[in-house]
Amino acid sequence: MRDLAVFSITALYLGAIVWAYVNRSSEKVVTTLFLGVAALIGSLLAVAFFGSEPPIRKVFSTAIIIDAKTHLPFEALPHTSLPWMAAIQARDKLKAHPELMPDPKTDAFAQTLYHHLLQRAIVSWLEEKYPKTWEADVFPMSLGETSGYMFQSKQVPSRLYPENELTEKMSGNAFADITGPFGASENFGLAIPKGTELDFSPPHKDSAGGEISTLRLRNRFCTISVETRGSMSMVGAGSYRLMLGMNQNQAQEAMKTDQYTVVISASFSRFLAGHPRRTTRSARRSFRPESRR
């Protein structure tokens, strides 16, 4: 019905233009047509500048807790910000390649190293949600006091990046080669809309924002970016220690915490606000800070 209405209105406008051209010698007809075109242009400008979707920006913090002695990711943590598979693979890699560990004299908390792992963990979370197609139904799940989400892919045209392509895309990230939640299968990976550019910038020093990493999705409808920024580090784990049954002294001896800020933003094309394939609704659902902290 909506497509029929648009077609009918377009046909009427074209008919009016043809009629005006046939009667172009009439000053009244030309003046009336000019007023109509001016009103049409005004309406289009109003839709473009006042009817477009406002940008989205979400900011939250997250932390990675490591063993104070080995500097490896701390094991057996409930509600961790790291997917369990990513944490296991990171520990295995660091044990096999201890040279990746920074000098404790220059980086006592290995914050830069785990900034790399945080970016890879975000990609793993996206793979968990979009392993085959870029749209998914989200179903809440709970088991006792534990709650989470289950994602079911929808059959929509998508561009799938399998693990080997993601590794190439994330070149420069120290943990680019660890696999996502579905392993190295060519049938799973990270799915994005067709015609969308996927770009990564590994953690690096920025003159304005300090240490920062970026994941960006861009197409003609919208641009979505996920930035992670190094924040602060501390001994212990704050009030998190209570979940592990530790007092403050025990926690400060056993754990160190690296804190990061995550900034998720989305902006939308003003001139494609009503396009049927626009991804506004999906963009709003794609990144939910409360679903992974």
**Token pair in block for residue 232:** 């602060």
Residues 6+ apart with CB under 8 A from 41: none
CB 115 within 8 A of CB 230: yes
- Short-list 192, 195, 205, CA closest to 165: 192
Cα dist from 76 to 1, 44, 66, 79, 246, whole Å: 56, 57, 11, 10, 14
51 DSSP assignment: S
- Mean model confidence pLDDT for the chain: 81
Mean pLDDT of 175-204: 91
CA–CA distance, 267 with 257 (Å, rounded to integer):
33
Residue-wise pLDDT tens digits, 76-131: 677 778 888 888 999 999 999 999 999 888 889 999 999 999 999 999 999 988 99
State the sign of the Cα–Cα–Cα–Cα dihedral 56, 59, 65, 66: positive
State yes or no: pLDDT of 191 exceeds 90: yes
State yes or no: pLDDT of 280 exceeds 50: no
Where is pLDDT greater, at 233 or 41?
Answer: 233
For residue 288, the tally of other CB atoms under 10 A from its CB is 13
pLDDT computed for residue 162 by the predictor = 94
pLDDT computed for residue 288 by the predictor = 47
**pLDDT band of 44, cuts 50, 70, 90:** low
State yes or no: pLDDT of 243 exceeds 90: no
Quick one: residue 79, left, alpha or beta (phi over 0 = left, psi -120 to 50 = alpha)?
A: left
**pLDDT band of 293, cuts 50, 70, 90:** very low
Cα dist from 179 to 90, 169, 192, 293, whole Å: 10, 13, 18, 20
CA–CA distance, 89 with 205 (Å, rounded to integer):
26
